[in-house]
Chain A
């Protein structure tokens, strides 16, 4: 099946710092989604990307859909304590048996020190 490599696995940063995480795959995707999950809760959608090269912002968050359709990154600027959580990328399959299915990265655990 399709695999997504998400990095880094975890990050420990100081409040106010910028954060960057990315996902890569050997397969192409038609859509990239970024979610944040708090402990015991379901993932909450942060940003959705629908076109290769698309750059989208949501407040302090910025994400891009890679030109090759095989990668995406998420940046968080000026981090605050409530940014703590697990961030997941998800790619929506472009063809074959994976068409339309979401494949998730393993997640990036973000810890923000005040």
Chain B
């Protein structure tokens, strides 16, 4: 079955602009989480959506937002881009929300969207 699909794979934006990234989870998965990966900070949790509701949130400013649609697809938006927002943005999906820690509710990642802010 198809994995987690993220678009676009690469993009370049200018400081002050805004960007929207898209994620299609594995078919049947209802939870989508977003992570930011940078060389300095590593992988950091942004937020999680389950059944169109934000269930969990990391420590990022309000410029970072997201949403989930009824088909479980998710988008994340970053407004007023800063140079430090340059990163690999990873989407991950799981069957149930990640607070359900039972066996089988494994988290799978997409290939990521590379954002460069200039």
A40 to chain B, nearest CB (A): 8
How many A-B pairs have beta carbons closer than 8 Å: the answer is: 62
Chain B interface size, as a band, is: 20 to 34
A100 at the interface (CB under 8 A from B): yes
Q: Which of B11-19, B67-75, B78-86, B100-108 contacts A (4 or more CB under 8 A)?
A: B100-108
Q: Which of A28-69 contact B (CB under 8 A)?
A: 30-31, 33, 35, 40-45, 48, 50
Assembly CA distance A54 to B92 (angstroms) = 24
B49 at the interface (CB under 8 A from A): no
A104 at the interface (CB under 8 A from B): yes
A80 to chain B, nearest CB (A): 23
Assembly CA distance A32 to B34 (angstroms) = 19
Q: Which residues of B contact A33 (CB under 8 A)?
A: 106-107
Q: Which residues of B contact A1 (CB under 8 A)?
A: 59
Q: Which residues of A contact B8 (CB under 8 A)?
A: none
Assembly CA distance A32 to B102 (angstroms) = 12
Q: Which residues of A contact B112 (CB under 8 A)?
A: 41-42
* CB contact between A45 and one of B58, B102, B107 (< 8 Å): that residue: B107
Q: Which residues of A contact B55 (CB under 8 A)?
A: 100
On whether the beta carbons of A30 and B101 are closer than 8 Å, the reply is yes
Q: Which residues of B contact A92 (CB under 8 A)?
A: 98, 101
Assembly CA distance A14 to B51 (angstroms) = 47
On whether the beta carbons of B90 and A101 are closer than 8 Å, the reply is no
A73 at the interface (CB under 8 A from B): no
In the complex, the chain B residue whose C-beta lies closest to that of A1 is B59
A106 at the interface (CB under 8 A from B): yes
Write the residues of chain B forming the contact surface with A, with a CB cutoff of 8 angstroms. 4, 6, 33, 35, 42-45, 48, 55-56, 58-59, 90, 92, 97-103, 106-112, 114
